[in-house]
Amino acid sequence: MRSQVGLMADEIMKILKDAGFGKDTLKNTQKVYRAATKWFELKNDGNYSFEVFEMFQEIYIEKYSMNKITRRYFLKVMRALKHLREYHDNGKVNYDRIDEKNKYVPNSESMKIVMAALDSVELSERYKKRMEANLRKFFCYAEESQLIISEINNITLREYMTYIYPGNSASMDMVVHALKILTNHLACVGIIEDKPNFSYLTPKKSVKKIIPSFSEDEVARILSATDTEASVGKRNYAMLLLAYQAGLRSCDINNLKFSDVNWESSEVNIVQSKTQKTLSMPITEQLKNALADYILYARPYSKSEHIFLSIRAPFEPAKTHNMCGWSIDKLCQKVGVAKKQGRRFHSLRRSFGTWLANEDIDFETVSQMLGHASPDSSKPYISFNDDRIYDCAMGFYDIPIKGGVYL
């Protein structure tokens, strides 16, 4: 018979499922509730009490403070526990999830204009949804401020941009693009006489952060911390090498098939998931041995054509997140590799690009080896080399210094 907390968890899961939460979110939430149910059964015969709840919550707060769990997982646990407490106190769950289509719903005539404007341009379905969300938001603003669509001009657009900026400062380029699509359509069908001038609305380029890669020493320490005696360690070790020594994306590592590996020529030949372009990469003997070690001695029996499988039945290939990405933080902590913002499993691919650049390999070749469709795509993958930057520094040899702190 299910305990009180177990029954509460079942009801919350039903609410979240009906609300449209994804499979991964539901799976992670269910995992938290299984642990919570066992905890309450151990401490209070499965009945809810605030004292026992706080004790359980404190366990995860301490784990997070000691870097034993990631921030992402910690937040998921805290949200699941928040739902549990809310359901006990109020009999309902505030999941703080607002569907944009429900939040911004203009009248039917406005929606007809939105859809007609989007149909007038060629956009991917994903991008079209983002444009639709921006246009629905604009028409809701127009209705609220009693703006007549035929009177849209530079002044009304500037007022709207000022109004919306505080909550959309990071995506103003999308807002401007959506308004351009709309006003071009309105001008073409004669609803407005002239297209507004968007030259003064051109948003500044977004700041591109330089995300640090792992150094060769750090990668060596991470690899040394991987338990290659265990099955999961053999698998993760091979995946780590594919990211660092071959520069493959996690999605391509997850999708790697037996037919992609040419053992005789020591090459990996794939069709990249992101670009759909073919890529051939040489692989080292170390990587070949790691792959063979996993396939021969650790890979579960399966007829799947994919090399890397989950460690639990039914032993399926990865479908979404990379299978060993979650362990990178744990390995770094184990060997004392500093936690830096933005560094994760994908940073091993960045390290591969940086390592090639440091070996004086030309930029175009680096781009080709990373499998990028454009050389510009490779720029964020190459971290600064401190030694090269020092070479650019100017000395004071030709500058006469007559006083001050330099003497």
Q: How confident is the model at residue 382 (pLDDT cuts 50, 70, 90)?
A: low
pLDDT over 70, % of the chain: 79
Residue 356 CA to residue 377 CA, distance in Å, equals: 15
pLDDT, tens only, 275-328:
788 888 888 899 999 999 999 999 988 889 999 888 777 788 765 455 566 677
Among the residue ranges 180-194, 275-289, 307-321, 382-396, the one predicted with the least confidence is 382-396
Q: How confident is the model at residue 63 (pLDDT cuts 50, 70, 90)?
A: confident
Residues 6+ apart with CB under 8 A from 14: none
Q: State in words which class domain 216-387 has.
A: mainly alpha
Is the pLDDT higher at 168 or at 48? 48
pLDDT, tens only, 203-237:
555 555 666 778 788 888 888 888 888 888 898 89
Domain spans, the chain: 4-90, 101-201, 216-387
Is the pLDDT higher at 39 or at 330? 39
- Give the DSSP letter string of 205-259: PPPPP------HHHHHHHHHTS-TTSHHHHHHHHHHHHHHHS---HHHHHT-BGG
Q: Are 255 and 354 in contact (CB under 8 A)?
A: no
Predicted confidence at residue 355, as pLDDT, reads 66
Neighbours of 174 (CB within 10 A): 16
Residue 33 CA to residue 265 CA, distance in Å, equals: 50
Mean pLDDT of 363-373: 63
Q: How confident is the model at residue 98 (pLDDT cuts 50, 70, 90)?
A: very low
Mean pLDDT of 151-162: 88
Joined tokens for residue 204: 């500044």
Predicted confidence at residue 320, as pLDDT, reads 46
Q: How is the beta sheet containing 261-262 ordered, strand by strand?
A: 261-262, 267-271, 278-282
Whole-model pTM over 0.85: no
Residue 43 CA to residue 49 CA, distance in Å, equals: 10
Among the residue ranges 142-146, 184-188, 201-205, 329-333, the one predicted with the least confidence is 201-205
Joined tokens for residue 386: 């401190």
Please, what sign has the CA dihedral across residues 3, 5, 7, 10? negative
Whether residue 35 has pLDDT greater than 50: yes
CATH code for 101-201?
1.10.150
Q: How confident is the model at residue 100 (pLDDT cuts 50, 70, 90)?
A: very low
